[in-house]
Each structure stands twice: as structure tokens, then as C-alpha cells.
Amino acid sequence: MDRRALLASIGALLAQAQTSDRSRGVVFQHDLPDLTLHGWSVTAVEVSYAPGGGSAAHRHPGITIAYVLEGEVVSKIGDGPEKTYRTGEMFLETPNELHGVSRNASTTKPARLLAILLAEKGKQLTTPA
């Protein structure tokens, strides 16, 4: 699969994830690192955070694109500030970048996100920081 086909597939997946009552323009745009995707695969994972829940600091070996399906998720990636992403917003992690904070912004409502991970086949998709 070449880069164009891969990105088109990701776009179609994200379009299905959005609710049909939204009519928005560009939701997300970010330059990609210069990578060869030969021998890579794509994995989509739904991550659910209970009220007040979160995950420990971690890294991914490839590119991770996250789309908030429900609620609000607080994230801190690399040297960037903590940022709250709301339903319909997205963020990107580049290869081996530290994802220091990933948690539900609410202590009363659940949050869910769709994580699309692109990585070399056979690599562990998430490692503790």
C-alpha cells in the first residue's frame, strides 16, 4: 500500500467516525515525517477512559493519529503543553515521541478516542515511557 492509499483509508475511517449531523471543513492538518512505509501496517484501536481515568506515560514506534469520539481528553505530547481535545478534534504523535499525559478531562463523564497507529510490522505498538 502506498502513502496516498494509506492516507485515503485513514481519511475514510475518520469520516465514518464523525457524527453525520456535523458539517465542517478541515478537521486536522499536520505535516508527516519523511518515512518509508515499506513493511508497515496500520492498526485502529478504540481507547476508553472512565470518568477521571487515564493512561501512564508511553511511546509509540510509528505515527499515531488520535480522534476524540466522545468527551474530552487531556494530552501532553513531547515538549508541547497539556491540551484538551474535544469530541471531533484530533492530534498526532510522531515516532517515539513521549506521550506524557493522556487522561479523561472529566471526573463525571466517560471519554473515548480512536487511535490509528502506523508502525513497522512486528513492532510493539505501545511501550512504557
pTM, 2 dp:
0.77
Distances (CA, A) of 55 to 48, 52, 91, 103, 120: 10, 11, 16, 6, 23
Amino acid at 14: L
Contact yes or no for 35/6 (Cβ under 8 A) = no
Q: What is the pLDDT along the chain (129 residues), one digit of tens a residue?
A: 566 666 556 665 555 555 445 566 788 888 877 878 889 999 999 999 999 999 999 999 999 999 999 999 999 999 999 999 999 999 999 999 999 999 999 999 999 999 999 999 999 999 999
Domains for the chain: give ranges and CATH numbers.
3-20+34-128 (2.60.120.10)
